[in-house]
Structure formats: structure tokens, C-alpha cells
Amino acid sequence: MYSTITRVYLFLKLTMIIIFETLTQGKARCKCKTKLDGKVALITGGNTGIGLETARDLARRGATVIIASRNVEKSETAVQDIIKTTGNTNVHFKSLNLLKFSSIQQFAHEFDKEYHRLDILVNNSGAILDKQDFSEDGIERVIQINYVGPFLLTELLMHKLIASKPSRIVIVSSKAHELHEADPNDIAGLTPLKFWTRFSNSKLYNILWARALAKRLPEGVTANALHPGIVKTEIFDGMSEWVRKVALWVISLFFKNAEEGAQTTIHACVAPELELVTGEYFEECRIQSANKMTRDEKLVDYVWENTMKLVKDRLPKPL
């Protein structure tokens, strides 16, 4: 358990983020009318919150939408909800556990067989966990859910994205990346850290990853990261009860609901003017400046190389 001093420190740090968002956050909306008939979109964590509202919007535009999650019951309910509210019956659920490399590999193998294309990949899944713990792959769980798992998934589906170009990779990050204490030599997150720092580190890696992808992807495949705003979603479910209740109460008073929070993600998925835009960071449906570290090309490459090595070293089957 955290000491009283640590709890006060964490509360003040969260309060700083909340005050800043109160002063600066708007509620911009994606206004483009892009249709997605014939397109295939995959959304991790698409059964609730921002992911659900993103899936609903893309389905309404005519895309075949696949929700990837480990919660079967919640995902099946989400699929029926999206079908009912959009009239699009091409909405499906596939089981994916980002905490297991073996599950990610199995998912990618099955997706490759079942779907002939992949036009939009939304790496939306995210978690904030109170306790520092590790996956069966030996990676800190927040880092694996928020960054390393999506990194592997994207690599395994890259051939499909390239074959379907123009295609887009959208990575849901957070303004919390500015409060990081990341060590690029410890991508696995083995160093003991506070919950907020582990979350912030994972979100910094998300932006560095988008930059690295942009340098390596062929023309026609883009990768961008974004901050959705402070949103009332289930991402806080892994927190201690008192932190979760306080956070959700404050968010419900001042910040975005899930539908509002999904707008920047949707914009990154469908805005026609972004077809060739890559390696950027978005807030409120606009390109914004991220932490200056994300413009350090040596760091971008270093984190990419270390993450790739980490993944290859721990895969049950070769990449």
C-alpha cells in the first residue's frame, strides 16, 4: 500500500493535470462526412468508452468493424448495441488479450485468415493499474496493455495494412505523457514506479512509437497519436476505490463523456485532409506539440529498437 505522503503526492499530481485540462480543454468534433463502405476497421478495447463510440461512428459510416477485447460478454453486448444504433450488421467481436503475446499472435493469425484487408487500426486499449505487476511475458502490465502489446499487434498486421493502403494506424495516447519518468533502457517497466508514472511512461512510448512508424512505413500508410482529453471511461477501473471515485466524480463535473472523447480518434481515422499526414500528435482534432523528447530522433529510434528487441526476445513464436 502507498504511504500517506505518497497518496498526497499522487493526488496533487493528478490535480495539476485536471486544472490544466479545465483551463485548456475544448470539445472539438470531427465534422467530416467520410464514408467507409468496403473498408475494414479494427479497434482494440472497442467494447466500452472511447473505443465503443469510435466503433459506433465507423460502423455508421459503413465500415466493417471488428472489436478486439478479452471481455466476451461486454464485447458481444457492444456489438449488438452498435448494430442496433447504426443499422450496420458488419460488426464483429474477436477475442484478444494484450497481456499475452500468445493471444496477440493467435488473434493476428485468425484475423489474417478471416479478413482480406485492414484499412484502419485503432490502438485504443488502455489501463491505469494501482498495483505494479507483471504479465506472463515478464512485462509490467500497464506498459504491455498500453504500448508493447499494441506494438506487437501492429507489427503482426502490418502486411495487411500495407496491402490495403491508403490505410491508417491511430494510437490513443494521453497528455499524461508530459509527466513521464521513462527510461528507454527499461521498456519492460521492471523499475518500481508509482501508478501515474507507469501510465505516463506508456503514453510517452505511444507517441515515440507513432514517430518511429512514420519513419518506417511506406507511403500510403500513416501512423498518428492523440490525446482524447480527460474522459469518463472504465480506464480507471484498475485503481484503488478512493482514487477511482474521486477521479470519476471530478471528470463527470468538468470533462468529456465517451462520445465527446472519441472525436479526435474519429478525426484521425477518417479526415480526408490527413491522408498523407503521419507521425503527428493530435488534441481537439488538431495537430499539437507533444513533449520535446518526442522530437528527439535518436530517442525515437532507440526506443523502437529496444521495443523490437524486447518483443522478439519474448515471443513464443518468431516474429
Give the domains, in start order, of the chain with CATH numbers.
24-314 (3.40.50.720)
Q: Tens of pLDDT along 157-171? A: 999 999 999 999 999
What pLDDT is recorded for position 4? Answer: 60
Average pLDDT, rounded, for the chain: 88
Q: Tens of pLDDT along 109-124? A: 999 999 999 999 999 9
For residue 176, the tally of other CB atoms under 10 A from its CB is: 21
Supply angle C-alpha 283, 286, 289, rounded to 5. 65
- For residue 281, which phi and psi values (nearest 5 degrees)? -125, 130
pLDDT over threshold 50, residue 202: yes
pLDDT over threshold 60, residue 238: no
For residue 15, the tally of other CB atoms under 10 A from its CB is: 12
What pLDDT is recorded for position 241? Answer: 58
The residue whose grid cell reads 477521479 is 247
> 131: phi > 0 → left, psi -120 to 50 → alpha, else beta; which?
beta
CB proximity list for 17: less than 8 A, separation 6 or greater: 175, 176, 179, 230
Q: Tens of pLDDT along 52-96? A: 999 999 999 999 999 999 999 999 999 999 999 999 999 999 999
pLDDT over threshold 90, residue 235: no
C-alpha 146/C-alpha 282 separation (Å) is: 18
pTM, two decimal places: 0.87
> 189: phi > 0 → left, psi -120 to 50 → alpha, else beta; which?
left
Chain Cα centroid distance, residue 71: 17
- The three grid cell numbers given for residue 193, joined into one nine-digit string: 514506479
Q: Tens of pLDDT along 13-58? A: 555 655 555 555 567 889 999 999 999 999 999 999 999 999 999 9
Determine contact, residues 41/63, Cβ cutoff 8 Å. yes
pLDDT over threshold 60, residue 137: yes
CB proximity list for 310: less than 8 A, separation 6 or greater: 139, 148, 187, 188
**For 295, which DSSP code?**
G
pLDDT exceeding 90 applies to what percent of the chain?
A: 71
Residue type, 259: E
pLDDT over threshold 80, residue 154: yes
What pLDDT is recorded for position 236? Answer: 47
What pLDDT is recorded for position 233? Answer: 47
Q: Summarize the chain as % helix, strand, coil (round to 5).
A: 55, 15, 35
Chain Cα centroid distance, residue 20: 22
Determine contact, residues 145/172, Cβ cutoff 8 Å. no
**Sign, Cα dihedral of 140, 161, 157, 90:** positive
Q: Tens of pLDDT along 244-285? A: 555 544 445 446 688 999 999 999 999 999 999 999 999 999
- β-partners of residue 226 are 172, 282
